[in-house]
């Protein structure tokens, strides 16, 4: 542990933090916690907060969460913050919460960037408020459990990121339909995401906790909107024994007075208008 005397603190109270930042960045680490600083330097909390505040004002670091900070390398100085994909894994480890990048973020990471999302989506097991920093917004989506066997690791500049695989991403897009812009927007994203899904890939759905209604809607969209018969057939083989009840295509619309698709038992109460 490096010991800093009172006189050193008075004369060089910011140099130790600069050295810490430089060393951190040279090792490819772009985040740190207040606890790490406390264990690294024998300095009062007041001195630490003063030094941190100075570097925040210089746009050298940014406070992401209470007690958790990210460096701002030169290439991101105009943004004032790292892209979320480069600090989320460290943040969730700091918070001790399981997570994965999902929905529109996962779709984009898998190559489905029909309209690249302006917000990031993190699925986790606790209620968390959206994170607003600079021009970055991170939405936290609540789920009862994290299906580890349906996640993949994506390499980033700062390490790895947990991301829902394409099948789980497709399911989540229908599960959280209104968080991503509704049915037409979802169909547009799926039209690109399906390029990395094979019929056999749907088998993972039998190994994780899923609801059948979103999968009925997914199958219907695959077959009748996207005309992906092989993918639709593959999905149907996995879930056909679970399809017992009718599911409205649009859960927010009236459910009576519309035809029902016999295969998926989907109430056709909405006309999807997607730019595919």
Residue 269 to residues 9, 200, 259, 260: CA-CA distances in angstroms? 69, 30, 8, 9
- Residue-number span of the structural domain to which 54 is assigned: 6-76
Please choose, from the candidates 163, 170, 142, the residue with its C-alpha nearest in 3D space to the C-alpha of residue 238: 170
Helix (H), strand (E), coil (C) string for 58-101:
CCCEEEEECCEEEECCHHHCCCCCCCHHHCHHHHHHHHCCCEEE
89 lies in the same domain as 223: yes
Report if residue 227 sits inside a domain.
yes
Contact of 197 with 236, CB cutoff 8 Å: no
DSSP, collapsed to helix, strand or coil, labels residue 132 as: strand
Average pLDDT over residues 257-271: 97
199 lies in the same domain as 103: yes
- Domains held by the chain: number: 2
173 lies in the same domain as 224: yes
pLDDT of residue 115: 59
Report if residue 1 sits inside a domain.
no
Q: What is the band of 245 on the pLDDT scale with cuts at 50, 70, 90? A: very high
Q: Mean pLDDT lowest for which of 13-17, 21-25, 76-80, 164-168?
A: 13-17
Of 34, 50, 76, the last residue of a domain is 76
Alpha helices in 84-206 (DSSP H): 88-95, 103-109, 166-175, 183-193
45 lies in the same domain as 107: no
Rounded to 5 degrees, φ, ψ at 65 are -150, 160
- From CA 33, how far away is CA 71, in angstroms rounded? 11
211 lies in the same domain as 171: yes
21 lies in the same domain as 40: yes
125 lies in the same domain as 259: yes
Report if residue 275 sits inside a domain.
no
29 lies in the same domain as 131: no
65 lies in the same domain as 180: no
239 lies in the same domain as 139: yes
Please choose, from the candidates 41, 42, 146, 64, the residue with its C-alpha nearest in 3D space to the C-alpha of residue 101: 146
157 lies in the same domain as 45: no
Q: Which is more confidently placed, 161 or 135?
A: 161
User: In this predicted model, what pLDDT tens digit does every residue of 209-234 receive, in sequence order?
Assistant: 999 999 999 999 999 999 999 999 99
92 lies in the same domain as 198: yes
Structure token digits, residue 83: 């892209």
> Residue 168 contacts by C-beta under 8 Å, 6 or more apart in sequence?
102, 106, 147, 150, 151, 204, 208
């Amino acid at each position: 542990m490096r010991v800093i005397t009172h006189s050193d603190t008075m004369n060089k109270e910011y140099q130790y933090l600069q050295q810490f930042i430089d060393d951190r960045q040279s090792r490819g680490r772009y985040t740190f916690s207040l606890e790490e600083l406390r264990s690294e330097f024998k300095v009062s909390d007041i001195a630490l907060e003063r030094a941190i505040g100075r570097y925040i004002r210089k746009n050298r670091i940014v406070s992401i969460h209470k007690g958790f900070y990210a460096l701002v390398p030169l290439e991101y100085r105009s943004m004032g913050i790292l892209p979320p994909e480069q600090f989320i894994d460290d943040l969730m480890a700091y918070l001790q919460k399981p997570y994965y990048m999902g929905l529109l973020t996962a779709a984009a990471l898998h190559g489905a960037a029909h309209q690249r999302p302006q917000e990031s989506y993190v699925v986790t097991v606790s209620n968390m408020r959206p994170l607003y920093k600079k021009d970055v917004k991170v939405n936290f989506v609540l789920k009862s459990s994290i299906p580890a066997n349906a996640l993949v690791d994506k390499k980033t500049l700062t390490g790895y990121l947990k991301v829902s695989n394409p099948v789980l991403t497709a399911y989540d897009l229908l599960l959280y339909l209104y968080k991503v812009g509704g049915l037409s927007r979802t169909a547009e994203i799926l039209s690109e995401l399906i390029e990395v899904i094979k019929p056999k890939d749907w088998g993972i759905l039998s190994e994780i906790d899923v609801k059948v209604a979103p999968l009925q809607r997914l199958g219907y969209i695959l077959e009748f909107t996207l005309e992906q018969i092989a993918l639709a057939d593959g999905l149907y083989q996995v879930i056909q024994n679970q399809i017992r009840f009718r599911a409205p295509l649009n859960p927010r619309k009236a459910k009576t007075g519309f035809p029902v698709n016999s295969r998926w038992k989907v109430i056709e109460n909405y006309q999807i208008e997607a730019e595919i």
